[in-house]
Amino acid sequence: MSGENNHMYGRTHTPESKAQMSDSKTGANNPMYGRTGALNPMYGRIGSNHPNFSISPANAKTVNVYSVDNVLVGSFSSMTAAANWLNIPRTTFRGYLSSGKVWNNQYRFVKSMS
């Protein structure tokens, strides 16, 4: 089926197809089969859905938002905070931050040096 669209468009899988898909993900067919305890790549790590998980401050960078007149409009603790303030997607914000281009003919985004 390579190159074709693989959309179901309201149809459902047959019981045989469901069984085949299920079998392909169990036992020796599963790349994680037998990787329990210390063999599991996530062993000892805290997942992002764990209550004690947080982004370390060392990874967060302060982001400044400037007007086109080079006046500081706001300083934010993260890209996400700045993107939320502007009500734009974080990926859009990141693109403008890395390119140095002016967003919406209004703002320029700069990572803080500190």
pLDDT tens figures, 2-33? 445 567 788 889 999 988 888 887 777 777 77
Contact yes or no for 93/111 (Cβ under 8 A) = no
Phi, psi of 97 (to 5 degrees): -65, -45
Q: Where would I find the H helices in the chain?
A: 15-24, 79-86, 90-99
Give long-range contacts, CB 8 A cutoff, 24+ apart: 89-93. none
Taking the whole predicted model, whether its pTM rises above 0.85 is answered as no
Phi, psi angle pair for 101, to nearest 5°: -75, 160
Least confident of 7-16, 25-34, 64-73, 103-112: 25-34
